[in-house]
Structure formats: structure tokens, C-alpha cells
Amino acid sequence: MKKPSLKPTQPNSESGFTIIESLLGIVIITIMLVGIAPVLTLAVANRVQAKRVEAASQAAQGYIDSVRSGRIPHPQKNATTFEMRKDSLADQPAPAKAALNCPTASAYCTGPTINLFCVDGDDDDACTTNSPNDLIVQGFGYVPNDNDTVNTQGYYSYKLGVRVYRADGFGAGGTFIKASDNNGEGGQQKTFGAMARNQPLFEQAAEIPVEDGEFSDLCQDAGLSAAQCN
């Protein structure tokens, strides 16, 4: 009986490259991930910033509507937070950076100034400088009029200026700026780019109608005479 001859098996020319190809694929994928990681990080950051600006817009509108309806008092009146001779919102200074004291949510803070309003973003019933979600609404009243009598428009109202800042900005260095400070570093924060804690997230002015006697009281509390407020 003839025995079958055994022929040597020819080595597969591709078998020796499997591991090398796998390693090469891993290297290529790693390079691609390293390249797109900054883009993904920026996309996530922009999304967070867009949500923060949207929340600030809603906070400002809610504050304005509540002041207009009487649910929230007018900005507490003194010569710096309620003024009758300002031409625009841009004339109002940004808040000073000092110790933030806002122990009650949905209420005016007691420091550093009396016209700051706490919008609690993390449901702990207060606004603190260690929260990335808490917002501070800066509210102030003004009547843009250069005449001797401030009420010349035929009805009684004032302009309510509103700026919204991050509460954690009060714990950061530097000074707050206004959206009107367009000198290369100012401006309202955008929904993309750097998250600057010293810039307002939102800025707006609105008309607030008031009763005759209430307007006179606001006007005189702001430092004008009774004759000027009639």
C-alpha cells in the first residue's frame, strides 16, 4: 500500500502581520482621538455656556415680570441703585466684588449692595460663591430725562435695568464689567468661547409702570425734590 506523501505546509504570507496591523490601527485611532479631543471638550464647554446664558436670560425676564407685577419689590431705593437722571443702562456701574451675602433664595441679598437679587440654581435655598449654577441679578431703576421735571412722558414709569452675573464670580479675582464695556475685554458673555466670570451673562432694560404716588416716592427717595418728581 502506497503511503500518502506529506507535503510541507506553505506559511501564510499575511499571518505574520496581524498583530502589527492591530497595533497600527490602535495607533491611528489614538491619534484621531487626540486630535478631536479638544474639539469635543470645546463643544461640551460651549453647550454648558449656552445653557448658562439661557438660564440668565430666563432669570432676568422672571425678575422683570415679577417687579412689574409687584411680586418682587422695586430695586431698593437709594442714590446709587435708583437714580432719576441716567440716560441709559450703560451709565449704571457694575457691582463691586465683595463678600456675597445671599442667605435667602428669590430675595434681595444683603451684601455687597442692596440691589442684588438671588436666583438659586442648585436648590439649596441660597446663593453662594462656590456654586456654578447660582445667578445674581443686579437691578436698578432710572429715568432717562434731562429736564427739570423727570415725568414728562405723560405717564408714570421708570426704566428697570438688569444685569445677570454668576454668583461664583463674586469669589473670583478681578472686577466686574458691563456689557457696554466693549474695549476689547467687555461685552455680554456669548454662548461659546471662554467662560469669563467677570462679565454679565445677560443685560436688559425694561419699562416699569407705577402709580402716581409710588412714582413720586421712588423719585424723592432717589434724591430729587417733590417739585421735580411731579
Q: Report how many helices (DSSP H) and strands (DSSP E) the chain contains, helices first.
A: 2, 5
> Which of 15-19, 98-102, 142-146, 169-173 is the most confident on average?
98-102
In which band, very low, low, confident or very high, does the pLDDT at 186 lie, cut at 50, 70 and 90?
very low
Whether the Cβ atoms of residue 163 and residue 174 lie closer than 8 Å to each other: no
Ramachandran class of 154: left when φ > 0, alpha when ψ lies in -120 to 50, beta otherwise: left
The C-alpha angle 102, 193, 29, rounded to 5 degrees, equals 125
Determine the pLDDT at residue 185.
Answer: 42
Task: Say if residues 222 and 84 touch (Cβ distance below 8 Å).
Answer: yes
Which sequence spans correspond to the domains of the chain? 40-221
Instruction: Scan for cell 407685577, then name that residue.
Output: 69
- Lowest-confidence segment of 13-22, 63-72, 217-226 by average pLDDT: 13-22
- Cα 145 to the center of its chain, rounded Å: 29
**Dist CA 139 CA 65 (whole Å):** 13
Q: What is the pLDDT of residues 55-103, one digit of tens each?
A: 999 999 999 999 999 899 888 665 556 665 566 778 788 888 889 999 9
Could you write out the DSSP letters of every residue in 45-111? HHHHHHHHHHHHHHHHHHHHHHHHHTSSPPSPPSTTTEESS-SSGGGSPPPP----BB-STTSB--B
* 78/73 Cα distance (integer angstroms): 14
Residue with grid cell 415679577, as numbered in its chain: 66
φ/ψ of residue 120, rounded to 5: -75, 115
Asked whether the beta carbons of 99 and 112 are under 8 A apart, the reply is yes
Q: Answer for the pair 137, 161: CB distance below 8 angstroms, yes or no.
A: no
Separation CA 55–CA 134 (nearest Å)? 10
d(CA 103, CA 97): 17
